[in-house]
Structure formats: C-alpha cells, structure tokens
C-alpha cells in the first residue's frame, strides 16, 4: 500500500467524476457515510455479477473535500478495501511463568 493513501472520515465529501456517476444511487456528490450505507444495502439486496464486481477491483476517479482540511477539492481515486485490525493482546509480563517461579525458588535455596 502507498504511504500517500488517506483514510476518509464519514463526513468527508466526494464527488465522482466522468462515467462513474452512474454507479451510485446517491448521485455524484455525497458524504462517505452515504456511500457506505449504499454499499451495505447493495451487498445485502443483490447477487453480484462479474461487471458489478469490478467496482471492487478498480479504483473510481473522484474529487474529495476533506472535512478537516483547507485544501479545497482534490482529484484522486477511491477504492473499496477490506482492512483487518487485530485485537490488542495484553502482555502477561506481570504474571510469573512456572519457569520464573522455579528460578526464584532455586536462587533462594
């Protein structure tokens, strides 16, 4: 993944350009939250054919207006990805293992 990628927030606005306008029921300008809701409905209510699946393989040209930026509309592409975020496993450094306990007993004796 490129380090120039930006994660968009739910309230950021994108405007889809060119032929891609027809792919969204929300129109050509919408918040990220709206496209996520449309995607959920689409995935839940349809059986996808090969041409419909292309949206997941290819990026879509658009412009984005960030909610927290002052850069105005910026041209680029959006792409649907699945991101895995593993749960944080607590370290058990504070608990003694059986080997640690044996070592402590050996040093005392």
Give the pTM: 0.47
CA-based nearest residue to 72, from 17, 20, 12, 26: 12
Hunting for tokens 């044996």 — which residue is that? 102
Question: Which of 12 and 90 is assigned the larger pLDDT?
Answer: 12
Residue spans of the domains in the chain: they are 13-78
Mean of all residue pLDDT scores within the chain: 75
Residue 56 vs residues 30, 48, 49, 50: alpha-carbon distances, Å: 19, 11, 12, 10
Distance CA 26, CA 37 (A): 10
Here the tokens at position 93 are: 């450094």
> What average pLDDT does this structure show over 89-109?
75
Q: 66-80 burial, b if ≥16 CB within 10 A, otherwise e?
A: beeeeeeeeeeebee
Cα radius of gyration (the chain): 24
Band of the pLDDT at 26, cuts 50, 70, 90? low
């Amino acid at each position: 993944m490129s380090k120039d990628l930006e994660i968009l927030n739910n309230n950021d606005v994108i405007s889809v350009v060119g032929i891609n306008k027809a792919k969204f029921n929300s129109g050509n300008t919408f918040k990220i939250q709206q496209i996520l809701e449309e995607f959920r409905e689409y995935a839940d209510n349809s059986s996808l054919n090969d041409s419909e699946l292309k949206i997941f393989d290819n990026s879509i040209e658009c412009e984005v207006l960030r909610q927290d930026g002052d850069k105005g509309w910026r041209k680029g592409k959006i792409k649907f990805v699945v991101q895995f975020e593993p749960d944080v496993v607590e370290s058990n450094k504070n608990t003694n293992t059986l080997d640690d306990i044996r070592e402590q007993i050996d040093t005392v004796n």
